[in-house]
Amino acid sequence: MVEFIDGGVTTPEGFKATGVHSGVKYRSLDLGLLTSEVPASAFAGFTSNKIKAAPVQVMMQENSPTLSAVVVNSGNANALTGRRGIEDALTMKQTVANELNLDPVQVGVMSTGLIGRFMDMHKIKYGINRAVKDLSVGRKADNLIAEAIMTTDTIKKECAARVRLSDGTMVYIGAISKGSGMISPHMKVLHGTTLSLVTTDAKLSPKFAKVWQEILDDSMNMVSVDGDQSTNDTCLLLANGMAKGACADDDPLFREALQAVMNKIARTIAKDGEGATKLIEVQVNNAKTKEDARRVVKEVIDSPLVKSAIFGSDPNYGRIMMALGNSGADFNLEEVRLVIKGGEMEVPILEAGAPIFQEERSVEAVRMAMDNKEVAIILDLAVGNESAIGWGCDLTYDYVRINAEYST
């Protein structure tokens, strides 16, 4: 059984972390460092945007099977920075390696922030030097690194869980993430921004990469704030095996726990979308294929008209059906069912392709359900047995304001 606990990336055995102010940002913490006492098996998911930031290019090219440290900065994405950007990403790795007596290939690198700006490496090196001296374990360390990777985020995104595996070993999983805008990941294993660091003391082998991709597809890749995939998206899982149990590759209890952690992080990212006032959860049931179910979820979440309707609590369900029709997925309109859920209210809207409500008081019930901080849209496509769930947020005036002023 998965149990969520108070913790973060240093909760699993053998991990240390910190966050410092290097000067890349004016006042806020802007550089984080995570280390593992022993080399950890590394599983990475990267953006599939054809324009990839320098750190992503470097990480993908090296494709190191193990990592002992990860350095991450906020305030500068190091994207669209040409050869100099690549050299700066390599310098970040080399600087950490020198400080910790590691091979540079054992150091991961991640960046987030403004695109098209060169890094100030004097500040970055200063920050790394400070971070190495400040590494520690516990909630203070967790909070420091979680804050250091934030950009337009309004809340820190972290969680931790524990689960007893089939062989009796208790293992821990910790995670932090950032992301508020330019969020619609389509991350592939071995292939505004979501950056995620996930740690566990479970033992995993290289073949777990397939499972990691499946978990990403059902969690981080089902989040969308604005439909724009970043140049920097990276989700990195480090497993150092220090719990001393058997390999957890095929343990369903470990997979369940990791999926739960990633789903919780994904929900938190959507809930903290730029300018957001409401979390939107879309559930699609009885689709013909898993891909169809996912496609419908993303089409509904990405629709500016649906997002605007949720913001205004406007019961214009035709916008949801428009998005379904645009998805290209198979469905049986004569059997399609649509439900809106908010708070304690669950209101059926469409049954067998026709509206259930006509009277004004029925319309008001839909409006009341939508007038909650968390709104669920539930669609039954009536053509199969596959399902998917995803998360987004409403489209508000503040989203436009934030992104109209982002670089200034």
Catalytic residues, which ones? 193
Burial, 385: exposed, middle or buried (Cβ in 10 Å; 0-12, 13-18, 19+)? exposed
First to last CA, the chain: 47
Sign of CA dihedral 142, 148, 149, 152: positive
What count of Cα atoms within 13 Å lies in the side-chain half-sphere of residue 168? 0
Closest to 177 (Cα-Cα) out of 110, 130, 231:
110
What are the CA-CA distances from residue 38 to residues 101, 136, 141, 238, 305 (Å)? 13, 15, 19, 11, 49
**Rounded Cα gap, residues 226 and 302, in angstroms:** 6
265-302: b or e for each residue (b if 16 or more CB lie within 10 Å)? bbbbbbbbbbbbbbbbbbbbbbbbeeebbbbbbbbbbb
User: SS3 for 324?
Assistant: helix
Residues in the chain: 408
